[in-house]
């Protein structure tokens, strides 16, 4: 409750005034005609004030709860939308996987044929493991032959045991340490006895030819006839062509 200070005038009447006892002239005139008109008091019960404050507080609380609910609802909506999108993507991928599996079944025949081809290739590779490019080898023997010499007879033998690796490295003049897969026997004629030595030196530069042994090198009774020779040559696995080997898949 608010009280207004009072003071007495010259007639002994109480009039409202400030802390310094001064009032405007018009208020003093009204006070003399209507005593007590300026007296004011706040008679509002504290319970009503507290109720009003509580009502305002409740409004703020309700607004806060509503805001929280709105945020939660928005988050739930976004999560539900993302989940629906992920579900759709998963379903699409599963459908595509099923489609590819069905398409793959249509190629079962091709896969079976490829398996048969691979099996045949493996069998051919086993049979042709000892393949040697004889044309190229015979070309080397002929191209390194001196002009004064001829080849009358030529025999090339390939050993299956040597190709399979059962045969050990050759002995004698062979120092390569490579498995021996066969041999060559040459016979023919020359002009001089030194021709065969020259021929052997040339053949030593050919890869895969080792252990070159002159079995015989004789001069004919007539000098005009020249010489007759017999040469034996060893073959190593360097001469294998590997043309029929099955490629190793990476």
> The domain spanning residue 210 has which CATH number?
3.30.70.2830
pLDDT band per the 50, 70, 90 thresholds, residue 43:
confident
147 & 230 share domain: yes
32 & 64 share domain: no
Q: Is the pLDDT of residue 100 over 90?
A: no
Section 37-66 average pLDDT: 81
Q: How far is 182 from 159, CA to CA, in rounded Å? A: 5
- 250 occurs within a structural domain: no
Please indicate whether residue 87 or residue 222 has the higher confidence score (pLDDT): 87
SS3 183: strand
150 & 82 share domain: no
* Domain total in the chain: 3
Q: pTM for the full model?
A: 0.50
65 & 145 share domain: no
Section 222-234 average pLDDT: 83
- 116 occurs within a structural domain: no
Section 23-31 average pLDDT: 59
27 & 61 share domain: no
Pick the closest to residue 230 from 171, 156, 153, 135 (CA basis): 153
Q: Are 196 and 188 in contact (CB under 8 A)?
A: no
Sequence-distant (6+) residues with CB within 8 A of 216 are 228, 229, 230
Tell how far CA 80 is from the center of its chain.
34
Section 61-83 average pLDDT: 90
Please indicate whether residue 127 or residue 69 has the higher confidence score (pLDDT): 69
């Amino acid at each position: 409750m608010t009280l207004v200070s009072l003071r007495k005038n010259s007639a002994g009447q109480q009039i409202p005034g400030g802390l310094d006892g001064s009032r405007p002239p018009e208020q003093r005139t009204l006070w003399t005609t209507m005593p007590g008109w300026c007296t004011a008091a706040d008679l509002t019960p504290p319970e009503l004030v507290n109720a009003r404050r509580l009502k305002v507080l409740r409004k703020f609380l309700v607004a806060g709860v509503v805001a929280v609910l709105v945020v939660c609802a928005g988050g739930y909506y976004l999560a539900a939308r993302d989940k629906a999108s992920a579900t759709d993507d998963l379903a699409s991928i599963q459908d595509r996987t099923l489609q590819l599996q069905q398409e793959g079944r249509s190629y079962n025949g091709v896969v079976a044929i490829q398996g048969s081809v691979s099996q045949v290739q493996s069998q051919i590779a086993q049979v042709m493991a000892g393949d040697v490019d004889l044309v190229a080898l015979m070309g080397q023997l002929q191209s390194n032959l001196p002009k004064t010499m001829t080849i009358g007879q030529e025999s090339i033998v390939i050993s299956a045991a040597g190709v399979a690796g059962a045969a050990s490295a050759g002995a004698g003049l062979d120092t390569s340490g490579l498995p021996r897969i066969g041999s060559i026997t040459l016979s023919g004629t020359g002009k001089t006895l030194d021709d065969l030595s020259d021929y052997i030196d040339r053949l030593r530069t050919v890869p895969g030819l080792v252990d070159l042994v002159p079995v015989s090198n004789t001069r004919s009774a007539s000098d005009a006839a020249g010489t007759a020779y017999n040469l034996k040559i060893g073959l190593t696995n360097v001469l294998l062509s590997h043309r029929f080997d099955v490629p190793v898949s990476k």
